[in-house]
Amino acid sequence: MFYAILADMLPSERQIWEVWTRTLHRWGLNEVAARLLEAAAPVNLLGAQLVYLGQPFIKTLLPAGHLEGLAQVLEDPGRAQALIDMLNAAPDDPGLPRA
């Protein structure tokens, strides 16, 4: 499923996921982020709405498109699971997209 979603996403969305994944792997926070996404699954839709509402206030903290990308991940359980799979993949995994 992970690879099917990656194939269907827009190039800009894929780039955002690659940036998140590489950054979290580099910081050693990939497992923490994956567990948070899994644990928050029941309230992800509410989280997405909060991201949309908070955009005017937090858009200066993230590059353009990243907030919308986060909201899309939170809205769609399939996208959330695909991102979790990317976060759980080893950084040198050939299946992990390269930046």
3-state secondary structure the chain: CHHHHHHHCCHHHHHHHHHHHHHHHHHCCHHHHHHHHHHCHHHHHHHHHHHHHHHHHHCCCCCCCHHHHHHHHHHCHHHHHHHHHHHHCCCCCCCCCCC
Q: pLDDT class for 96, splitting at 50, 70, 90? A: low
Cα R_g (the chain), whole angstroms: 13
pLDDT tens-digit series, residues 29-55: 999 999 999 999 889 889 899 988 888
From 18, 26, 32, 7, select the one nearest 83 (Cα to Cα): 18
Whether residue 99 has pLDDT greater than 50 = no
Whether residue 1 has pLDDT greater than 70 = no
The reported pLDDT for the residue numbered 33 is 93
pLDDT tens-digit series, residues 13-35: 778 888 889 999 999 999 999 99
d(CA 99, CA 47): 27
Whether residue 12 has pLDDT greater than 90 = no
Q: pLDDT class for 5, splitting at 50, 70, 90? A: low
Supply 34's token pair.
């994956």
